[in-house]
Amino acid sequence: MKVAPSQPTLLDEVRAAARQEQFLEVISAESARQRLAAHIDTTPMSAERVALASTLGRVLAVDILATVDAPPFDRSGVDGFAIRAADSLGASDQKPVRLKLNNEVLRCGVAPREDVAPGTATAIATGGVVPRGADAVVMIEWTELIESDDLAIDLSRAVNPGQFISYAGSDIARGETALRKGAKIGSRELGILAASGTAVVDVVRRPRVAVLSTGDELVAPGAPLRQGAVYDSNGAIVAAAVSEAGGDPQAFGIVGDDENALRDVLTTALSTCDMVVLSGGTSKGAGDLSYRVASTLGQPGVIVHGVALKPGKPLCIAVVDKKPLIILPGFPTSAIFTFHTFVAPIIRARAGLPPETAREVEATIPVRIASEMGREEFVMVALTEGESGLTAFPSNKGSGSVTTFSQSDGFLTIDALSTSLDAGARARVRLIDPDVRVPDLVIAGSHCVALDVLISALSQQGIVARSMAVGSQGGVTAARRGECDLAPIHLIDPQSGIYNQHLVTPGFTLVPGWRRMQGVVFRKDDPRFAGLSASEAVAAALADSSSVMVNRNAGAGTRILIDQALNGARPRGYGNQPKSHNAVAAAVAQRRADWGVAIEPVAQLYDLGFAPLAPEHYDFLLLDARRDRFAVRAFLKALRDPDVIAGIRARGMQVANDPVVG
């Protein structure tokens, strides 16, 4: 008889959900690498034979010896006549030499029949086979055709032997090593292989790498996102990174938090692939699911669980019969970082590629960066170039961020024993892409959707602008330190009620941007607020003890507005202080709050009701010293461009001369 499993109690669930640190032991990244290397094979995979056209990006498994010469024969480099150089001796415009033409024309692909005897010449095309007897070719421009009974030419230049002849094997000689084992085949290498007559090539088999993501909350891109769910981004980024490292990714999709299902998938993955990479559930107290399953699949099992790295601490490495099974942390930045640190080097080695060459630059750190003691910390940074060299702005949005990696140029390292890196310190930045292009224009301050219209307009002119969302106050600081060209800000002077003017100091100009209408946001179907003005809506909220607000962070212009409207009141939810208009709108739309203050375009994006309060001025603080830079000039010009203005309006902003409500 089957016994029905008993339902877990709330206490069971809380116990399971509570994360408990269950790491084997937290070891250094270097020790983790050494342990892994001791258990697996890091030599290149065996060879496989592939048709030439399919070899792009592959790695040669053998040296390629040329089996034919290139060119395969002595070849003419010009259209003209094959001659004996000795016959041209003394030829000039005044005293041309007459040569009788032989009875053939050597177009490309035609095998010569006649010798070039002294005093004769044979017509030859570029690429034609130089005939027996000839030792030079003269250009047609140096000759004149003499059309008598016997065809002849008058040659007006003397040439040396070898003139315009490419000798057989001068490009590739038969027997020579045309390409070496380990070479990555690009278009140029493909050309060499084709020229040496190679139709099939022995290349290193790409290691098959199973990629899967774990978590009940994951949804494949394209499917609707239910409440509490997130899209599986690790699956896509890890699979692509496997390809970039020379591997052959095998997508195993998403597996829920189900031990049996995960064991089945991992067993299949291990039997069909050379390596398995999954993400998520490494530090889950809810049972340490992936870790526990990984330790039951074979020998030696889990060899590393926990590394003294940030991001990346929960990394788990198992080995089953020499095949690595790597569990990356679920957080996207942690996942991709640990992938590049631990997994990519193995894939490259097995794919026959050399270790990646690291490029580093030195840069100044503009702000103090705090670091956790005991973990070697990698800080993602975006580079900008100023008067005093490169500056590296921390671009970290936390390990949970998906965008951090793509919006960064590189990373710097803070060693495990340091607790911070001070503002003004110099640091070595390891570049993610060695061909990184430092932006032409640096914008640091508050971000706005309409700013993208300007950045796109510049990008169409080939100007790379980088906008760093450091908040209005962060923008003012960056501008004063000369770390950006422009700082978009919207800060109200509480005394005068005027926006931004109070921040203009000598050496700076305020460039007018646009206005964003701020107002009270609420769900459209909420009868408590529908149809009310902003002040009526705030009064209604204060009068209703069941309503919950969502506030804004101290220092935000919107917060000043909220505090003015509340006039000292502290309604429920006042302590919830997210940092963006979007977070306020999401809280209201998802019913975690009933009202808050946000800008109108954002209210529209979340389909919320909106009662206008006051326009917020979004202007640009410009460093006068940078005004004449071409990118700054292009920015100022774009700001006046009618198409750009139309685009800014289309994003719900009001530009100068627009009627302003409220």
Ligand X SMILES: Nc1nc2c(c(=O)[nH]1)N[C@H]1C(S)=C(S)[C@@H](COP(=O)(O)OP(=O)(O)OC[C@H]3O[C@@H](n4cnc5c(N)ncnc54)[C@H](O)[C@@H]3O)O[C@H]1N2
Binding site for ligand MOO (CB under 6 A): 310-314, 329, 331, 334, 399
* Angle, vertex CA 66, rays to CA 64 and CA 69, nearest 5: 160
Q: Which is nearer to ligand MOO, 329 or 557 (CB)?
A: 329
The option from ligand MOO, ligand X, none interacting with 250 (CB < 5 to 8 A, set by class) reads: none
Contact range with ligand X by CB under 6 A, out of 54-62, 192-200, 278-286, 497-505: 278-286
Residue 311: is the preceding peptide bond cis (ω within 30°)? yes
Going by C-beta distance under 8 Å and a sequence separation of 6 or more, which residues neighbour residue 661? 517, 612, 615
* Burial of 101 per CB tally in 10 Å (0-12, 13-18, 19+): middle
The option from ligand X, ligand MOO, none interacting with 259 (CB < 5 to 8 A, set by class) reads: none
Spatial distance between the Cα atoms of 467 and 451, rounded to a whole number of angstroms: 9
Please, which of residues 3-32 interact with ligand X by CB under 6 A? 19, 21
The option from ligand MOO, ligand X, none interacting with 352 (CB < 5 to 8 A, set by class) reads: none
Number of residues that bind ligand X (CB under 6 A): 27
Least distance (Å) from ligand MOO to the CB of residue 242?
20
The option from ligand X, ligand MOO, none interacting with 19 (CB < 5 to 8 A, set by class) reads: ligand X
Angle, in degrees to the nearest 10, between helices 630-640 and 642-650: 70
Largest separation between any pair of C-alpha atoms in the chain = 116
Going by C-beta distance under 8 Å and a sequence separation of 6 or more, which residues neighbour residue 522? 528, 529, 530, 537, 588, 594, 595, 608, 609, 611
Strand, coil or helix: 399: coil
Least distance (Å) from ligand X to the CB of residue 279?
5
| Residue whose token pair is 């009868």 | 527
Spatial distance between the Cα atoms of 313 and 415, rounded to a whole number of angstroms: 14
Which x/- pattern, by CB under 6 A, does the window 375-404 give for ligand X? ------------------------xx----
| Residue whose token pair is 């193995």 | 346
> What is the amino acid identity at position 190?
L
The option from ligand X, ligand MOO, none interacting with 206 (CB < 5 to 8 A, set by class) reads: none
Q: Which is nearer to ligand MOO, 249 or 311 (CB)?
A: 311
> What is the amino acid identity at position 571?
P
Least distance (Å) from ligand X to the CB of residue 649?
35
Least distance (Å) from ligand MOO to the CB of residue 200?
45
Phi, psi (degrees; rounded to nearest 5) at 497: 75, 5
Q: Which is nearer to ligand X, 233 or 577 (CB)?
A: 233
Ramachandran region of residue 376, left (φ > 0), alpha (ψ -120 to 50) or beta? beta
For residue 256 the two structure tokens come to 């829920």
Least distance (Å) from ligand MOO to the CB of residue 181?
38
Spatial distance between the Cα atoms of 390 and 429, rounded to a whole number of angstroms: 10
| Residue whose token pair is 């490259």 | 348
Question: Could you tell me if 428 and 415 are in contact, meaning their C-beta atoms sit under 8 angstroms apart?
Answer: no
Could you say whether residue 44 binds ligand X (CB under 6 A)?
Answer: no
The option from ligand MOO, ligand X, none interacting with 519 (CB < 5 to 8 A, set by class) reads: none
Least distance (Å) from ligand MOO to the CB of residue 20?
16
Could you say whether residue 249 binds ligand X (CB under 6 A)?
Answer: no
Please, which of residues 282-311 interact with ligand X by CB under 6 A? 282-284, 311
Least distance (Å) from ligand MOO to the CB of residue 380?
12
- DSSP letters of 408-466? -SEEEEE-TT-SEE-TT-EEEEEESSTT----SEEEEE---TTHHHHHHHHHHTT--EE
Could you say whether residue 232 binds ligand X (CB under 6 A)?
Answer: yes
Contact range with ligand X by CB under 6 A, out of 44-52, 214-222, 555-563, 647-655: 214-222
Could you say whether residue 467 binds ligand X (CB under 6 A)?
Answer: no
The option from ligand MOO, ligand X, none interacting with 218 (CB < 5 to 8 A, set by class) reads: ligand X
Could you say whether residue 338 binds ligand X (CB under 6 A)?
Answer: no
Spatial distance between the Cα atoms of 591 and 571, rounded to a whole number of angstroms: 16
Spatial distance between the Cα atoms of 386 and 248, rounded to a whole number of angstroms: 42
Spatial distance between the Cα atoms of 143 and 162, rounded to a whole number of angstroms: 18
Q: Which is nearer to ligand X, 27 or 230 (CB)?
A: 230
* Burial of 364 per CB tally in 10 Å (0-12, 13-18, 19+): middle
Q: Which is nearer to ligand MOO, 235 or 329 (CB)?
A: 329
Residue nearest to ligand X (CB): 330
Going by C-beta distance under 8 Å and a sequence separation of 6 or more, which residues neighbour residue 325? 266, 270, 275, 276, 278, 294, 297, 317, 318, 319
Contact range with ligand X by CB under 6 A, out of 197-205, 331-339, 485-493, 521-529: 331-339
Least distance (Å) from ligand MOO to the CB of residue 19?
12
The option from ligand X, ligand MOO, none interacting with 306 (CB < 5 to 8 A, set by class) reads: none
Could you say whether residue 250 binds ligand X (CB under 6 A)?
Answer: no
Least distance (Å) from ligand X to the CB of residue 280?
3
Question: Could you tell me if 178 and 193 are in contact, meaning their C-beta atoms sit under 8 angstroms apart?
Answer: yes
Least distance (Å) from ligand MOO to the CB of residue 312?
5
Least distance (Å) from ligand X to the CB of residue 233?
4
For ligand X, which residue of 314, 410, 475, 578 counts as binding (CB under 6 A)? 314
Classify strands 80-83 and 120-124 as parallel, antiparallel or unpaired.
antiparallel
- Which residues of the shown chain bind ligand X in the complex (CB under 6 A)? 19, 21, 213, 215, 217-218, 230, 232-235, 279-284, 311, 313-314, 329-332, 334, 399-400
